[in-house]
A and B are shown apart, each in its own frame.
Chain A
Amino acid sequence: MEEEQPIICVRGLHNQFGDQVIHHELNLDVGRGEILGVVGGSGTGKSVLMRSIIGLQKPQHGEIEVFGEHLLGRSEAETVDIRKRWGVLFQGGALFSTLTVAENVMVPIREFYPDMDRRFRQEVAKYKVGLSGLPPEAGPKYPSELSGGMKKRAGVARALALDPELLFLDEPTAGLDPIGAAAFDNLIKELQKTLGLTVFLITHDLDTLHAICDRVAVLADQQVIAVGTIPELLALDHPWIQEYFNGPRGRMAMPQVADGT
């Protein structure tokens, strides 16, 4: 059954820069329709893991399957059909600075569906801008005219351009104010529900973890040391996990503490 097969399946991943081993024998599964949060200290290779999955970083060895298809060792041309089923939001937004927001959204559409009618392509780009929660006046603006939060939303609009099934988000709420970050969390949750997305979410934001993540994967010691819901993780007595969720910031973000119960 397709439902039971994980969308992302990483096995025995090994990444190394020079002598520095980033990942060793790393395994991870992401199920269909879930929001998986990925946490870990700085330098534990969260972004490297994401870059390995989306093919920007070639691991030394290991197996990566997305949508049930092997990705490693295949050329870019061979993986086009897989790559157009995911969208990526980079940390800084990585918007093309010489194009307007709406034009940024049109880039992947033109790239993957060159035969689509130009007017319809524009319409698609326009409602995607709206879907990502940007006001109508943001469409014809250039990225340099947008605030940090709007850039992130524009990045989401571009990531959603091809109606992906899988969305990669690299620290989407970093650098946003708490209100903006909460609104962004809601946006992701909403989109995930209405579009049926699977979300791979790297974050340091404990509020985001509590608010929207179905499961959380913890990266430490070159591996994914635990995957589970937050209560499941809390039951483990790994020192880093305890420190992370039960440290002063972790406790503040805990829903029951915030509710005063």
Chain B
Amino acid sequence: MTVPGDFVEEMMEDGVMALRFSGDLSMATVEDLPERLSSYDGDAQKIDLSDVGYVDTVGAWLIYRTARDIRVEIVGADPAVDQLIRTVGGVDPPTDVRPDPPNPILRILNDVGESTTIAITTFAGLVGFFGAVVGAALSLMLHPGRIRWNAVIQRFDVVGVRALGIVGLMSFLIGLVIAQQGAVQLRQFGAEVFTVNLVGRLTLRELGVLMTAIMVAGRSGSAFAAQIGTMKLTEEIDAMRTIGVSPIEALVLPRVFAAVIMLPLLGFYASVVAIIGGGVLSWVALDIPPATFFTRIREVVPITDVYVGLVKAPVFGAIIAISGCYQGMQVKGNAEQVGFRTTAAVVQAIFMVIVLDAFFAVFFTWIGWS
């Protein structure tokens, strides 16, 4: 049976004030003793342990600490307890729990400096990584036998085929929403029929590819970063290098290649599904029959709109795959890094896709594809 630990201040036979402990002193039974002992400020000269029961290292530490803090000796301990107290006392002064927190001002400066260096090194690293990927791709073109078709086909499946469902559903709904909102606004001018122009041009030029790129960045860019990051942690990448397999060739190129090929296909598919969504709404809400809708689409959408989408898509695919693989390769240390890098890969990819999309818009207008 366990008895909670306790202590009293008591005059001993030899006329000396002592702290007399009683009961069990263990992790389960110390309860509020540590706080009570910390705030003890009596004038005991001794600690008497002759009444204590079971003592574990927590109890031993508590006794040692009290004796140290009020500078008194310990009496009446049985040999095992005495040994225990000496053992835990032997590791005093103890260690810290966390690294020392730096001075707040220094920390802010440090954070600013660190963020700046990270921004610069990330950009430089990304450019370097891009160069390495292009270099590896060129060298593979000279030695086509080294291309890992299995890996490439597998990535086609994961990045492209398995995304068909979600991309299709998303695009269909977007087409529907554009047509519906467009119809509501254009009706004010009696120009509902221009809903067809809106749906056809917007999806083929911009939204189809852009939304697909965002979806692929979330689905596949994150997966690339997490897969490669985990392989980094388990030293698989190092193992590859020592065997003479280039991780860029074996891991990065198949993914980049798959994304570059799959994004135009998915983007075009997304645009078509979005147009179908717009067509469905036009039929239901505007009484434009499908046959008329598609004839109108062919009349109002110039072929250059399709080219605009198809030119942008492979670039977006490359950005998504390269930033995913790059962030994965940067993982080192612990599991938290994998999560951090995966987030970074997706955010970086979506950000760069949107920035480049703006540049593309200006560029295509400039060359007259408007």
Residues of A whose CB lies within 8 Å of any CB of B are 97-98, 100, 102-103, 106, 109, 113, 115-117, 119-120, 122-131, 134-144, 160, 162-163, 194-196
Cβ-defined contact, A130 with B333, below 8 A? no
Cβ-defined contact, B94 with A139, below 8 A? yes
Q: What separation, in Å, do the CA atoms of A163 and B57 have in the docked complex? A: 7
Cβ-defined contact, B99 with A100, below 8 A? yes
Q: What separation, in Å, do the CA atoms of A115 and B27 have in the docked complex? A: 11
Extra 16 A-B pairs, beta carbons < 8 Å, given A109-B27, A128-B57, A194-B83: A98-B335, A100-B98, A103-B97, A117-B35, A119-B34, A122-B97, A126-B95, A127-B92, A127-B94, A129-B95, A130-B88, A143-B334, A160-B57, A163-B26, A163-B27, A163-B56
Closest to B64 in A: A127
Q: Could you list 25 examples of A-B contacts with CB < 8 Å?
A: A100-B97, A102-B95, A102-B96, A102-B97, A103-B97, A103-B98, A120-B35, A123-B34, A123-B61, A126-B94, A127-B61, A127-B88, A127-B92, A130-B90, A130-B92, A131-B88, A135-B95, A136-B95, A136-B96, A139-B95, A140-B98, A142-B334, A144-B334, A160-B57, A195-B57
Q: Please report the number of residue pairs spanning A and B whose Cβ atoms sit closer than 8 angstroms.
A: 103
- Taking the closest CB of chain B, its distance from the CB of A83, in whole angstroms, is 13
Contacts of B80 in A (CB 8 A): 196
Cβ-defined contact, B97 with A97, below 8 A? no
* Contact residues on B (Cβ < 8 Å of other chain), bracket: 20 to 34
Instruction: Give chain B interface residues in 28-66, CB to chain A under 8 Å.
Output: 28, 30-32, 34-35, 38, 56-58, 61, 65
Closest to B90 in A: A130
- Taking the closest CB of chain B, its distance from the CB of A189, in whole angstroms, is 13
B13 interfacial by beta-carbon distance below 8 Å: no
Closest to A194 in B: B87
Query: Residue A124 contacts which of B61, B84, B95, B333 (CB distance < 8 angstroms)?
Result: B61
B91 interfacial by beta-carbon distance below 8 Å: yes
Q: A117-B35, A123-B65, A140-B99 are in contact. Are A162 and B94 (CB under 8 A)?
A: no
Q: What separation, in Å, do the CA atoms of A97 and B92 have in the docked complex? A: 26
Q: What separation, in Å, do the CA atoms of A116 and B62 have in the docked complex? A: 13
Contacts of B26 in A (CB 8 A): 163
B336 interfacial by beta-carbon distance below 8 Å: yes
Cβ-defined contact, A162 with B27, below 8 A? yes
Q: What separation, in Å, do the CA atoms of A116 and B30 have in the docked complex? A: 9
Instruction: Give chain B interface residues in 313-343, CB to chain A under 8 Å.
Output: 333-336
- Taking the closest CB of chain A, its distance from the CB of B238, in whole angstroms, is 15
